[in-house]
Structure formats: C-alpha cells, structure tokens
Chain A
Amino acid sequence: MDSGIPPAPEPDFAEIRLRLLRSVRRVCPAWLRSRAEDIVQNAMLRVLEISRARESTTHFPSSYLWKAAYSATVDEIRRLRRRPEVSWDDTGLNGGGPVDPAGPVDPETGMAAGELGEAAEGCLEALPEARRAAVGLYLLGYTAGEIAASMRWREKNVRNLLHRGLVALRRCLAGKGFGP
C-alpha cells in the first residue's frame, strides 16, 4: 500500500548501538559502566523488536529509534539502580567492583567531593527556577547555545542567567565553607 510518505532512510542499528555504548560508558559511574554492554544490548533488543513490528508498514525514522534507544537505556539504568541485590560494594569504591577508568579515588578527596556535591545541590535548589535550570544544565555539560535551544530561551538571556546564577551559587557555597 502506498502511504504517500517517502520511506525514511534505513536505520543504522550498529551505529546507534556503538554511540549509545560510548555515551553510557562516559556518563555512568564505574559499577554501571561495567554493565554498559548489557544495558545497551537490552535497549537495542527493544528497539529492534519495535522496528520489526513496524516493518510491514513502514520503516521507523532514525530519530525515533535514537529516542527509543535512549529511553530504553535510561529504563535499564533505572531498573538496575532499583535492584536491591546491587550492593554498595559494586560501586567499585571498596576494591571488589569494577575499576573506574579515571583511576582510584582518594577517600578524602571522594568525601570532600561528596560534601561539595551535596552543598552544591542545596545551593542550586535555592536559586530561582530559571537560574537553577540554566546553571544546572550548564553543570551537566550543556553549552549556553544548547541550553537556549533546549529551554527555548534566547542565548543572551541564558548567558545572563548563567553569569548571575554561578555567582550566586559560589556565594552560597562560600557561605557553607566552600570557598577560597
């Protein structure tokens, strides 16, 4: 049957899988990184199932598959996180788990980073909503342009929010004893 819609390009599953794997390895902590293959494999199985189910009518657009693969990957990560049998030892901090490619974490440094992270979270929460969103995304690695596009704001406004937000964040952290 002719749907009148030009067929989308054939999705490159191998490419999707490879890039997801790289992304998961970069983003996940050590104990999940060692399971990255499984996470992505399960996600890709779901994507392939969906794709096969649709093959009789039309190909999936690649963009949809990317989104589906991402969603399945996050679902997998969430599922693993919720599993009670994952012990704290699996974090790799106690020597029994996978090794973090970034190298061993000095306990004192790790604790200090943990305290800073907790304080930073608290200070982020205290920011007005727009500044919180801008600074939060920036600290996840989003550029000002990406934040502007994601939030549908003007980039100039984003830069302003970032400037003021980061100043306020550092001031708040200084008040908690994290400062020069």
Chain B
Amino acid sequence: MTRDGLTDDGLREALARRSERAVPTAACPEPDVLWDLAAGELDPAPAGTMAAHAVGCPACREALRLAREAGATAGAVGTSSGAAPRSRATWLAAAAVLLVAVGTVFVVRRMERPAPPEFRDEELVRIETLGPTGPVPGGAETVLRWTPVEGARYDLTLARENLEVLSIVRGIAAAEYTVPEDLLRRVPSGGRLLWQVEAVLADGRRFRSGTYSVRFE
C-alpha cells in the first residue's frame, strides 16, 4: 500500500468500500435515530454510544453518510466550514422549519386538551429515547424508556406508522412504559410503533420529546 492510501480521502474511500456489501445487524439503530444523531438531537451520552457503534458498523456508516448528504447536519451547524452539502440554503430552509416544528407530529393531542402553560425551552429540558434503539422481535415485551425529568409525570402517545393514534396514556410516574400486548398486536410485523412523550411538571409546564419509533420484526 502506498502512502497515498493513507490520505484522509484514501481512508474515506477504503472505509466506504467496506460498506458496499454491509448487511445491517440487530444492533443497528433505527434510521431515525441515526438522523437524530447527525442532526445533533441526541444528548451527548446516548450520542456517544450511538456514534461509537455507528462508525464501527459498515451499514450504519453508510446511513450516516446519507444523513449528512440529505441535510441532517444542516440544521445542527450554524457556521460549518469545509465540504458543505450542495445547496445548503435549501437544507437550511428545511432545517429552519425543524426548529419550529419538532414535536408537532401529534398535533391532534394539542387540539384535544385544554391549553396548559407550555414552556418550550428545549435547551433546558430535553427528553430523549433510551430504548429500544433497534428492531424488536415480534411478540417480545416492549419497554419504552426515556430520559427522566425530575419531578415530572409523563403523558405518552402511541401511534401507528400512518399516525393513527393507538393510545394516549397519561400520568405515568416512571420514565418508562411497557407496551400492553393487545396494543402490540395492532402493529403488523415489520411495522413501526411511533411514540412521543411529554413531561408534565407540577406547575403545569410541559416538555415534549421528539417522535421515536420502534420497529417490530
């Protein structure tokens, strides 16, 4: 091997070739988690764990490259330099909407309940998924976990992939929820269960997570 192969570009190409035939494993996170990682929407601890797996996994490396190409990082970077994706302005436009729109997938919920005091400082409280981060075998017990918020109870919305709301569970005390079997049966094999949690503080303030998904094998 010549020294040329050890340039940054040579290393990039060599690693990219390792991805060409890569088959994802059960350890691979869902694509939306990889997107969140690229977009800087994971807390540092889960991001570190996720990145440690992803950069060592040929299939996830390819997905992370695609996330960057598709503009996931555009919203996360204010003034990046170097090889920026093409037409950054367009990506930024999409990302600008992201800042406003994160957490509005389940808008129906807002329409159903009386408007509580809402505090949307995402820098202050962020709720991230702690699992499951990979596909779940059909029929297996499924426990949704998220980062706890001190003193909060949680409202959880569960929906199918077509955003049909399956259940809204209010007042959960712990930062986790075991999905009932009868509800799991309503998600087809290979389908996804979407979930979003909202932390409700005693003073009525609410902090909403992003929307996460669990895929069933």
- Using Cβ atoms and an 8 Å threshold, which residues of chain B touch A146? 68, 73, 76-77, 80
- Using Cβ atoms and an 8 Å threshold, which residues of chain A touch B102? 63
* 8 Å CB contact of A58 from B30, B82, B107: B107
Contact with A along B15-31 (1 / 0, CB 8 A): 11111111110001011
* 8 Å CB contact of A78 from B59, B108, B115: B59
Number of interface residues of A (CB under 8 A): 83
Contact A81 B76 (CB under 8 A): no
Closest approach, in angstroms, between the C-beta of A131 and any C-beta of chain B?
10
- Using Cβ atoms and an 8 Å threshold, which residues of chain B touch A77? 62-63, 66
Q: Does A156 contact B (CB under 8 A)?
A: no
Contact B110 A4 (CB under 8 A): yes
Contact A8 B15 (CB under 8 A): no
Q: Does B32 contact A (CB under 8 A)?
A: yes
- Using Cβ atoms and an 8 Å threshold, which residues of chain B touch A78? 24, 28, 59
- Using Cβ atoms and an 8 Å threshold, which residues of chain B touch A28? 62
Do A151 and B44 contact each other (CB < 8 Å), given the known contacts A58-B107, A67-B35? yes
In the complex, which residue of chain B has the Cβ closest to the Cβ of A9? B97
Q: Does B137 contact A (CB under 8 A)?
A: no
**A135 to B51 alpha-carbon distance, docked (Å):** 10
Q: Does B169 contact A (CB under 8 A)?
A: no
Contact B1 A26 (CB under 8 A): no
* 8 Å CB contact of A63 from B6, B52, B86, B97: B97
Contact B73 A15 (CB under 8 A): no
- Secondary structure dominating the interface of B: helix
Do A53 and B15 contact each other (CB < 8 Å), given the known contacts A81-B23, A142-B68? no
* 8 Å CB contact of B44 from A57, A73, A153, A166: A153
Number of interface residues of B (CB under 8 A): 88
- Using Cβ atoms and an 8 Å threshold, which residues of chain A touch B40? 149-152
Closest approach, in angstroms, between the C-beta of A61 and any C-beta of chain B?
3
Contact with A along B172-204 (1 / 0, CB 8 A): 000000000000000000000000000000000
- Using Cβ atoms and an 8 Å threshold, which residues of chain A touch B65? 27, 140-141
**A53 to B61 alpha-carbon distance, docked (Å):** 32
Closest approach, in angstroms, between the C-beta of B191 and any C-beta of chain A?
11
Contact with B along A107-122 (1 / 0, CB 8 A): 0001011111110110
* 8 Å CB contact of A1 from B37, B43, B69, B111: B111
Contact A125 B56 (CB under 8 A): yes
In the complex, which residue of chain B has the Cβ closest to the Cβ of A129? B52
**A115 to B101 alpha-carbon distance, docked (Å):** 45
- Using Cβ atoms and an 8 Å threshold, which residues of chain A touch B66? 23-24, 27, 70, 73-74, 77
Contact A62 B10 (CB under 8 A): no
Pick 27 A–B contacts, CB within 8 A, sort by A.
A5-B107, A9-B97, A20-B70, A24-B66, A29-B20, A57-B107, A57-B108, A61-B104, A63-B98, A64-B101, A71-B31, A73-B70, A82-B24, A113-B5, A116-B6, A124-B55, A133-B55, A139-B55, A140-B12, A141-B12, A143-B81, A143-B83, A146-B77, A169-B11, A179-B3, A179-B6, A180-B6
Q: Across chains A and B, which 5 residue pairs bring their CB atoms closest together, nearest first?
A: A136-B55, A61-B101, A63-B98, A145-B80, A149-B76
